Amino acid sequence: MPADSRAPKRTPRARMTASQRREQLLAVSRRLFAEKGFDGTSVEEIAARAQVSKPVVYEHFGGKEGIYAVIVDREVQALTSALTGALAEGGHPKVIVERTALALLGYIEASEDGFRILVRDSPVAQATGTFSSLIGDVATQVESILADQFRANGLDPKAAPLYAQMLVGMVALTGQYWLDARSPKKTEVAAHLVNLAWNGLSGMERKPALTGPR
């Protein structure tokens, strides 16, 4: 009996379609970019982890800049959808702040790698949006909500854009902290955020001024 006849037969591995290969490369790259950042990730490493040759990566995306741009664009769309959805439901302003905080924390919880990529700085992201620009867009949507509350409480609505940046920035920075801390739980973090934001807004002075030397 020939020796090779005793060797187990191998079932040939099914070849991926172009669409499947593209999604595989995106998943592999997303994990690497989250771990190492854009500059710390190479096409060689993407190809090695995906078990393909470098030309395959170039064929699908033209290089790591192309694959990074697609990943960032997807994450921006996912986070934008979550935040604008929370704002669009309407209701009492305090409830809107609660929903917005929970929407951001929920995105972080469900898409940790994506959030890590968004908060990193990279010139490549300028083409598809950055986390700071996204937060700025959300702050613009919050302006009208705050302006209405300012008028109702006898405050100057012209200051609403500034306070909108403060409010959304506070939520965003807390989200970055919570990304690693993960304590307390999401609902408690949101409650603390709203406690500071809402109670601070409800007790604001009409014309705030510094009291110390300047």
Give the structural domain span for 89. 72-202
Distance from C-alpha of 175 to C-alpha of 189, rounded to nearest angstrom: 9
Q: Are 75 and 114 in contact (CB under 8 A)?
A: yes
Residue 201: the pLDDT is 73
Has residue 164 been placed in a domain? yes
CA 186 to chain centre: 16
pLDDT averaged per 10 residues in sequence order, the chain, 214 residues: 57 79 97 94 96 96 93 90 86 88 93 91 55 84 87 89 90 91 93 89 82 78
Phi-psi region of 13 (alpha: psi -120 to 50; beta: other; left: phi over 0): beta
Q: Are 165 and 137 in contact (CB under 8 A)?
A: no
**Long-range contacts of residues 117-123, Cβ cutoff 8 Å, at least 24 apart:** 117/30, 117/33, 117/34, 117/71, 117/72, 117/75, 118/72, 118/75, 118/76, 118/79, 119/176, 119/179, 120/33, 120/37, 120/38, 122/37, 122/38, 122/39, 122/68
Has residue 135 been placed in a domain? yes
Q: Are 78 and 120 in contact (CB under 8 A)?
A: no
* Structural domain total, the chain: 1
Residue 127: the pLDDT is 45
What are residue 194's phi and psi, to 5 degrees?
-65, -35
- CATH at 100: 1.10.357.10
Distance from C-alpha of 69 to C-alpha of 29, rounded to nearest angstrom: 11
Q: What is the pTM of this model?
A: 0.80
Has residue 212 been placed in a domain? no
What the block records as the tokens of 193 is 């955020």
Has residue 62 been placed in a domain? no
Has residue 37 been placed in a domain? no
Distance from C-alpha of 205 to C-alpha of 60, rounded to nearest angstrom: 57
Has residue 38 been placed in a domain? no
